[in-house]
Amino acid sequence: MIDVVILAAGKGTRMKSALPKVLQPLAKQPLLAHVIHTAKQLHAERIITIYGHGGDAVKQRFANEQIEWVEQAEQLGTGHAVQMTLPVLGRSGFALILYGDVPLVSKATLQRLLDASKDSGIGMITLEVADPTGYGRIVRENGLIQAIVEHKDANDAQKQITEINTGIYCVSNEKLHQWLPKLSNNNAQGEYYLTDIVAMAVQDGLEIASIAPEYAFEVEGVNDRLQLANLEREWQRYQAEQLMRQGVHLIDPSRFDLRGTLSVGQDVEIDINVIIEGDCTIGDNVKIGAGCVIKDSTIASGTVIQPYSVFDQAIVGENNQIGPFARLRPNARLADEVHIGNFVEVKNTTVGLRSKANHFTYLGDASVGQDSNIGAGTITCNYDGANKFKTTIGDRAFIGSNSSLVAPVSIGNGATVGAGSVITQDVEANALAVERSKQFQKGNYQRPQKQK
């Protein structure tokens, strides 16, 4: 059984922000969200999160997660924080002690730590660094860990040690219940150090296991904006490398951001300054132009997306031609071989096979059939100021430029709408509709009211 204990009570003063530190975003997710996600991947029995400053905001942000919240009202050190969990911490199994501001430790690294700690009952992640200033030093004797000495308490010889403590531990719950009540604050900071459990383990004759992370950024913490930005770049560089190993052609991996998850096919090409957000799937031979933002969308094989197009919760079929400067909003669903051109916006609309809207068009709350052509400047007038209505356009329809289709309205199969028309009535199949009129005014007009 695994319990995950997350220390997330810090104020984050150096962030210069009203937002609690653990809610600061990395890859568009709060720092704490990354840690919780990893804990869930490990199938933790409990996720115990210690909160303090800004606790209400933190708890509200993760209200839908199965988390046991423990308050640390006074900031008396890491040992004191974990002490607060003892009333809810199990008596059996192991606890992984993690940090809400150390967001990127991987499942694989934590699994190795768990495996290494099972025999001795205690293990930790350590790291060799070129400059250990400010970090707790790992003191070894004959290769075995004997103690952790904080930088402010270290003597000159100990300050030369380059192996540091990351603060991430795996400890048997039984030992935590035994050791934590014995912590003392007799040190330079007057705090209860969690690191003192290492000396207790040595005193009990235990051999402390240790592992190193595969990547140094896994154990990097965030205390200010500079560290946050640097860690963002390291994470983005790592994700770009993983995608390129899968065969993705990133034109410049230093100018690519993945803020979620991405599943890709073969021979995908992504130009500079593209942002992928949420959960996205991209098929074979898709090309994405510079400056595009793709969020929670699926793009089928062979589709070409021209620069500066924006997708949000869209589903795109095969061999589409989209953009530049196109916008696909939630529930835009495009069939195969569709053309959506420059400055075209599609929202809550299905577009059928081989249909086209190539210029300056708005399609909202609509259905477009196969092989239809929507002329430049056409809009579906789906909103009367209070309620929304649907426009239906059949197969092989031709909508002339600068037309307004006032919903609810239906355009039949094979119908033609003359340019500049304001269509307020249904158009029969294979008919020509031209609707233009002089200005009409009605005094004391009452706008529609929202339907209940």
Of 188 and 431, the one with more pLDDT: 431
Specify the pLDDT at position 123. 97
The CA-atom distances, in angstroms, between 275 and each of 27, 267, 340, 384 are 10, 18, 20, 34
At a CB cut-off of 8 Å and minimum separation 6, what does 445 contact? none
Specify the pLDDT at position 164. 96
CA distance 211 to 126: 6
Q: Of 101, 374, 6, which is closest to residue 391 (Cα–Cα)? A: 374
Q: Which two tokens stand for residue 383?
A: 């909103």
Q: How many CA atoms lie within 13 A of 390 on its CB side?
A: 9
Burial of residue 51, with CB atoms counted within 10 A of its CB: 0-12 exposed, 13-18 middle, 19 or more buried: buried
Q: Which two tokens stand for residue 293?
A: 């933002």
In the chain, the percentage of residues whose pLDDT exceeds 70 is 98
Specify the pLDDT at position 447. 60
Q: Is 134 annotated as a binding residue?
A: no
Specify the pLDDT at position 249. 98
275 in helix, strand or coil?
Answer: strand
Q: How many CA atoms lie within 13 A of 413 on its CB side?
A: 3
439 in helix, strand or coil?
Answer: coil
Q: Which two tokens stand for residue 373?
A: 């052509």
65-121 residue pLDDT tens: 999 999 998 889 999 999 999 999 999 999 999 999 999 999 999 999 999 999 999
The mean pLDDT value for 333-347 works out to: 98
395-452 residue pLDDT tens: 999 999 999 999 999 999 999 999 999 999 999 999 999 987 766 666 776 767 888 7
Per the annotation, the verdict on 359 as an active-site residue is yes
Residue burial 386-406, b: 16+ Cβ < 10 Å; e: rest? eeeebbbbbbbbbbbbebbbb
In the chain, the percentage of residues whose pLDDT exceeds 90 is 89
Q: Is 433 annotated as a binding residue?
A: no
Specify the pLDDT at position 193. 87
**Length of the chain as a residue count:** 452
Specify the pLDDT at position 51. 95
Q: Is 320 annotated as a binding residue?
A: no
Say yes or no to pLDDT of 327 above 70.
yes
Count of Cβ atoms closer than 10 Å to residue 227 Cβ:
15
CA distance 317 to 313: 13
Q: Which two tokens stand for residue 245?
A: 């190993």
The residues pairing with 357 across neighbouring beta strands, listed in sequence order, are: 340, 374
Chain Cα centroid distance, residue 425: 45
Q: Which domains does the chain have, with CATH numbers?
A: 2-219 (3.90.550.10), 225-433 (2.160.10.10)
> Does residue 448 have a cis peptide bond before it, meaning omega lies within 30 degrees of 0?
no
Q: Is residue 106 within 8 Å of 218, Cβ to Cβ? A: yes
pTM, to two decimals:
0.91
Specify the pLDDT at position 439. 62
Q: Is 10 annotated as a binding residue?
A: yes
Q: Is 38 annotated as a binding residue?
A: no
Q: Of 402, 329, 414, which is closest to residue 366 (Cα–Cα)? A: 329
Catalytic-role residue among 151, 177, 249, 359: 359
Residue 187's pLDDT band (cuts 50, 70, 90):
confident
Specify the pLDDT at position 350. 98
Minimum mean pLDDT range among 166-170, 209-213, 368-372, 447-451: 447-451
At a CB cut-off of 8 Å and minimum separation 6, what does 120 contact? 201, 206, 207, 208, 209
Q: Is 131 annotated as a binding residue?
A: no
Say yes or no to pLDDT of 190 above 90.
no
Q: Is 283 annotated as a binding residue?
A: no
Q: Is 77 annotated as a binding residue?
A: yes
Q: Is 308 annotated as a binding residue?
A: no
Q: How many CA atoms lie within 13 A of 161 on its CB side?
A: 25
Q: Which two tokens stand for residue 307?
A: 């620069």
Q: Is residue 344 within 8 Å of 360, Cβ to Cβ? A: yes
Tell me which DSSP letter residue 383 carries.
Answer: B
